[in-house]
Amino acid sequence: MVALVISLALFFDFTNGFHDTANAMATPIATGAIKPKTAVALAAALNLVGAFLSTEVAKTVSGGIIREGSEGIQITPDIVFAGLMGAILWNMVTWLKGLPSSSSHALFGGLIGAAIAGIGIHSVNFESLMQKVVLPALFAPLIAGGVAYLCTRLAYALTSRHDPETGDKLTQKRGGFRTGQIFTSSLVALAHGTNDAQKTMGIITLVLIAAGTQQAGSGPQWWVITACALAIALGTYAGGWRIIRTMGAGLTDVKPAQGFAAETSTASAILASSHLGFALSTTQVASGSVIGSGLGRRGTSVRWGTAGRIAVGWLFTLPAAGIVGALTALLVKTGVIGVVVAAIAGTAAVWYMFIHSRKSHVGHHNAVEVEEAGHAVQFRKKKPAGKPSKSTKDVQR
């Protein structure tokens, strides 16, 4: 059972990786700062490094949300199994449907649902849940968005060049930001590793604690860290290839200066939260930043309808994954047959969705979240000719 859960957790880590490559690498690919192949490889490598950097979030996941050990409530590998099932299935469904969602919230939702159905409502530490999951989920995108707005304003104010006598616009020469994007997007990938890989580490640690092979309250073991880092890096690398096909269109309107500001804000927000052990959703932070930077640049309007749709998707993730997790937990409770049924049903569902995704339109794939955020920010068409281009054609010769 433990081995089964660990492999399931690593698979979740893998889906998480390919779900989220877009967060870091969508903008630089769109602005042409990095070639897609390089970008994906870079993101994978940095995710790997990031996973080793900090284990604060893993401790939050393994120690905070579900009461374990000393307080008398034993969380069993069965529960974690059910929770992971909920998370993976919800991840796959949203991925297939193109609904924007957060893999982190799917994970928490699945676990909470499974714990409630399998043990009882008293097993969930709601206080810790509020403080470490719900509050960051509300605030992180707002913080990132606000900071991105400010940074975009600053970046444009500092680099806008006017002729001192006539007041005409000079060539803006903002191409330097494109080079900068290589570094900021790398930082986002790194930050993603420090936050998202940790969640799986936390889960595996939770299982090991539950199975009695590890002491309660201790951090993840080194082989767990290594396995999770590798799984998320592999996922990132695999996911990138799908993004290349569709990503071009969604975010092309994001200018390098904006992308730079948005990515800096995303990376700062995620790294700061990781450091404090907040398990927030990288997807939500990245979307918040993109919208914020869209608001910060003149001549853009945000499509609040799309933004609202993203928000609704966020609201649904936790309960929906929770319900799947709860159902699986009830099934698992019936005994070995239940576990087998759940495992087979889960695998079949994942395979079905995977095969189905192969058939369906490319637009329905994992890059959706950030792409949607990109769509939410609509740009007015630039006035043709006459004025010197604000863009970056003139540099990088």
User: Cβ 178 to another protein, closest distance in Å?
Assistant: 10
- CA–CA separation, 141 and 42 (whole Å): 25
Take residue 173 and report the two structure tokens written for it: 């020469």
User: Cβ 101 to another protein, closest distance in Å?
Assistant: 23
Taking CB under 8 A as the binding criterion, the range among 107-115, 150-158, 318-326, 352-360 that sits at the site for another protein is 150-158
Query: Counting contacts by CB under 8 A, is residue 173 touching another protein?
Result: yes
- CA–CA separation, 97 and 280 (whole Å): 23
Query: Counting contacts by CB under 8 A, is residue 33 touching another protein?
Result: no
Q: Nearest CA to 106 among 84, 87, 89, 78? A: 87
- Please check whether residue 93 is in contact with residue 354, taking contact to mean a CB–CB distance below 8 angstroms: no
Taking CB under 8 A as the binding criterion, the range among 91-99, 172-180, 307-315, 342-350 that sits at the site for another protein is 172-180
Strands 300-302 and 377-379, bridge-based pairing: antiparallel
User: CB-based contacts of 101: which residues, under 8 Å, 6+ apart?
Assistant: 90, 91, 94, 283, 313, 314, 316, 317, 369
Distances (CA, A) of 314 to 52, 97, 100, 359: 28, 14, 7, 27
| Among positions 272, 344, 348, 362, the unique one binding another protein when judged by CB under 8 A | 272
Query: Counting contacts by CB under 8 A, is residue 169 touching another protein?
Result: no
- Please check whether residue 201 is in contact with residue 232, taking contact to mean a CB–CB distance below 8 angstroms: no
Taking CB under 8 A as the binding criterion, the range among 6-14, 112-120, 260-268, 344-352 that sits at the site for another protein is 260-268
Taking CB under 8 A as the binding criterion, the range among 34-42, 168-176, 299-307, 359-367 that sits at the site for another protein is 168-176
User: Cβ 127 to another protein, closest distance in Å?
Assistant: 10
| Among positions 119, 269, 310, 320, the unique one binding another protein when judged by CB under 8 A | 269
In DSSP terms, which residues pair with 66 in a beta bridge? 124
Take residue 78 and report the two structure tokens written for it: 């069965």
Nearer to another protein, 27 or 264 (CB): 264
- CA–CA separation, 78 and 128 (whole Å): 22
Take residue 26 and report the two structure tokens written for it: 């969508």
Query: Counting contacts by CB under 8 A, is residue 154 touching another protein?
Result: yes
Burial classification of residue 319, based on how many CB atoms lie within 10 Å of its CB (0-12 exposed, 13-18 middle, 19 or more buried): middle
User: Cβ 171 to another protein, closest distance in Å?
Assistant: 8
Query: Counting contacts by CB under 8 A, is residue 221 touching another protein?
Result: no
Query: Counting contacts by CB under 8 A, is residue 143 touching another protein?
Result: yes
User: CB-based contacts of 264: which residues, under 8 Å, 6+ apart?
Assistant: 151, 184, 187
Query: Counting contacts by CB under 8 A, is residue 133 touching another protein?
Result: no
Nearer to another protein, 38 or 128 (CB): 128
Query: Counting contacts by CB under 8 A, is residue 364 touching another protein?
Result: no
- CA–CA separation, 241 and 37 (whole Å): 8
| Among positions 101, 102, 236, 264, the unique one binding another protein when judged by CB under 8 A | 264
User: CB-based contacts of 7: which residues, under 8 Å, 6+ apart?
Assistant: none
Query: Counting contacts by CB under 8 A, is residue 254 touching another protein?
Result: no
User: Cβ 140 to another protein, closest distance in Å?
Assistant: 7
Query: Counting contacts by CB under 8 A, is residue 284 touching another protein?
Result: no
Binding site residues, another protein, CB under 8 A: 53-55, 131-132, 135-136, 139-140, 143-144, 146-148, 150-151, 154-155, 158-159, 161, 171-174, 176-177, 180, 183-184, 187, 194, 257, 260-261, 264-265, 267-269, 271-276, 278, 395
